[in-house]
């Protein structure tokens, strides 16, 4: 076990060094060489954003504070970094407890990225690269994300392209009982159970149809392979509990669109969105959504949002309680069943520009956001609450 752990850590450090080297190469490649003293003059700009998220449903509670920092150099190179901590509290045996008691798990998530826009005369090409790492006691994830946006027709038309690669190592660590053998080895750590690889590509198109109307269309293709089950979830097969077993390959197709309109006389904006999804597990889903943005004076904006979601069951998730030993794939995942949900919520944004000229003038460019959403869900997860708050300080 100790040798396996050392190999695991060596591999993660090698991947980390590779990612850092890649970002360094990208940084050198996209940083333009200034030719005059005027081009190197100027100040750095950026922002710091503090966020807090809260999610609650019947068996799970998540508290997620985070910080995001964005910088832009005088030459136009963008640098960003973020860090998030998930505190996940659950009382479900399906999440890995040896007894049905509450426990709290901490997940650390960190990322960094670079971006730069090249001026091509009649067009502009914006490129970016981002790395991300996520760690918890039974999961380690690392990902590389790249994207490009080509602006044409005086930025009235934008073509977007993106690619993402994610590699996850999944372990099984049973909670609630930290037993050891005579050598001191922790028997609750069952070691690595699998690896998940994901490759996702996307293309998008944005067009300004008029000064008040814009259209966005996009398509995503994802390929997931490897361990796609839950390491803890157990399934009843003819009265006997057995480990969940999902197919080891999943292809995902997603089409999405957005039509945004601004009504100047009402000081309102309306966004109409729809997302369609189908995958190789026979799940089909559709999710229409509408958002209404309303100016409430010079310093306050209100966003209201409603989303409907409906999906079909996977080919192996139609009858969760009637599996036999002849079934190759078995699941207890509520997301594999047919269900629908409604989400309704609001977000209030306050601009601090009213502090201009006061003793708090240094705070005048800040903005505060408060959000609350409620989900009505027909699957086993039940209804849920999402709340968010953030403070953004530009400099």
Mean pLDDT calculated for residue range 26-33 = 47
Residue 284 located in a structural domain: yes
Tell me, what CATH number does 312's domain have? 2.40.160.40
pLDDT at position 318 is 67
Tens digits of residue pLDDT in 129-178: 999 999 998 899 999 999 999 999 999 999 999 999 999 999 988 765 55
Residue 100 located in a structural domain: yes
Per-residue pLDDT at 380 exceeds 90: no
Per-residue pLDDT at 228 exceeds 50: yes
- Measure Cα distances from 114 to 22, 66, 69, 83 in Å: 11, 19, 12, 16
Residue 232 located in a structural domain: yes
Per-residue pLDDT at 180 exceeds 60: no
pLDDT at position 271 is 98
Please tell me which residue, 27 or 370, carries the higher pLDDT value. Answer: 370
pLDDT at position 177 is 53
Per-residue pLDDT at 267 exceeds 50: yes
pLDDT at position 214 is 98
Residue 250 located in a structural domain: yes
Domain residue limits at 331? 44-394
- Measure Cα distances from 262 to 21, 48, 94, 209, 326 in Å: 44, 29, 47, 12, 57
Q: In 3D, which of 179, 132, 171 has the Cα closest to residue 19?
A: 132
pLDDT at position 393 is 96
* Residues belonging to the chain: 395
Residue 212 located in a structural domain: yes
Mean pLDDT calculated for residue range 187-210 = 90
* 229 C-beta neighbours (distance < 10 Å), count: 22
Strand boundaries in the chain, DSSP class E? 45-57, 60-72, 78-90, 103-119, 124-136, 139-152, 157-173, 189-210, 213-226, 234-237, 240-243, 249-263, 268-279, 284-295, 300-311, 339-351, 367-377, 384-394
Residue 68 located in a structural domain: yes
Mean pLDDT calculated for residue range 24-31 = 46
pLDDT at position 93 is 46
Per-residue pLDDT at 52 exceeds 90: yes
Mean pLDDT calculated for residue range 360-371 = 94
Per-residue pLDDT at 217 exceeds 70: yes
Mean pLDDT calculated for residue range 24-36 = 46
At 38, the pLDDT band (50, 70, 90 cuts) reads very low
At 22, the pLDDT band (50, 70, 90 cuts) reads very low
Three-state DSSP state, 356 = coil
Tens digits of residue pLDDT in 69-125: 999 999 999 999 999 999 988 765 444 444 445 678 899 999 999 999 999 999 999
At 189, the pLDDT band (50, 70, 90 cuts) reads low
Residue 6 located in a structural domain: no
CA distance 337 to 332: 9
Supply the mean pLDDT for the chain: 87
Per-residue pLDDT at 202 exceeds 80: yes
Count of domains for the chain? 1
129 burial type by CB count under 10 A (0-12 exposed, 13-18 middle, 19+ buried): buried
Residue 372 located in a structural domain: yes
pLDDT at position 10 is 45
Mean pLDDT calculated for residue range 46-71 = 95
């Amino acid at each position: 076990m100790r040798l396996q752990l050392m190999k695991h850590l060596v591999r993660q450090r090698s991947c980390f060094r590779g990612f850092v080297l890649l970002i360094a190469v990208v940084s050198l490649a996209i940083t333009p060489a200034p030719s005059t003293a005027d081009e190197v003059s100027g100040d750095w700009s950026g922002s710091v954003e503090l966020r807090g998220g809260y999610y609650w449903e019947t068996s799970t509670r998540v508290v997620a504070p985070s910080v995001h920092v964005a910088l832009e150099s005088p030459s136009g190179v963008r640098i960003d970094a973020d860090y998030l901590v998930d505190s996940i509290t659950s009382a479900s045996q399906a999440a890995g407890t040896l007894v049905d008691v509450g426990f709290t798990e901490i997940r650390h998530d960190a990322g960094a990225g670079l971006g730069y826009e090249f001026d091509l005369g009649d067009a502009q090409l914006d490129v970016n690269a981002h790395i991300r790492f996520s760690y918890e006691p039974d999961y380690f994830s690392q990902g590389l994300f790249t994207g490009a946006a080509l602006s044409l027709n005086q930025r009235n038309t934008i073509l977007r392209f993106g690619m993402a690669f994610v590699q996850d190592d999944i372990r099984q660590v049973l909670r609630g009982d930290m037993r050891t053998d005579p050598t001191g080895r922790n028997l609750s750590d069952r070691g690595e159970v699998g690896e998940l690889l994901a490759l996702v590509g996307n293309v998008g198109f944005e067009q300004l149809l008029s000064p008040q109307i814009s259209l966005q269309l996009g398509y995503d293709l994802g390929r997931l392979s490897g361990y796609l089950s839950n390491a803890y979830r157990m399934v009843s097969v003819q009265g006997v509990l057995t480990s969940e077993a999902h197919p080891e390959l999943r292809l995902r197709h997603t089409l999405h669109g957005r039509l945004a309109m601004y009504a100047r006389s009402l000081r309102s904006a309306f966004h109409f969105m729809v997302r369609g999804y189908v995958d190789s597990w026979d799940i089909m889903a559709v999710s229409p959504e509408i958002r209404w943005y309303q100016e409430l004076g010079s310093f306050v904006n209100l966003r209201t949002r409603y989303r409907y979601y409906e999906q079909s069951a996977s080919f192996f998730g139609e009858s969760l309680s009637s599996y036999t030993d002849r079934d190759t794939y078995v699941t207890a995942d509520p997301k594999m069943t047919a269900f629908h949900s409604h989400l309704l919520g609001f977000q209030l944004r306050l601009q601090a520009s009213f502090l201009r000229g006061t003793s708090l003038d240094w705070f005048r460019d800040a903005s505060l956001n408060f959000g609350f959403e409620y989900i009505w869900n027909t699957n086993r997860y039940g209804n849920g609450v999402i709340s968010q708050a953030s403070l953004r300080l530009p400099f």
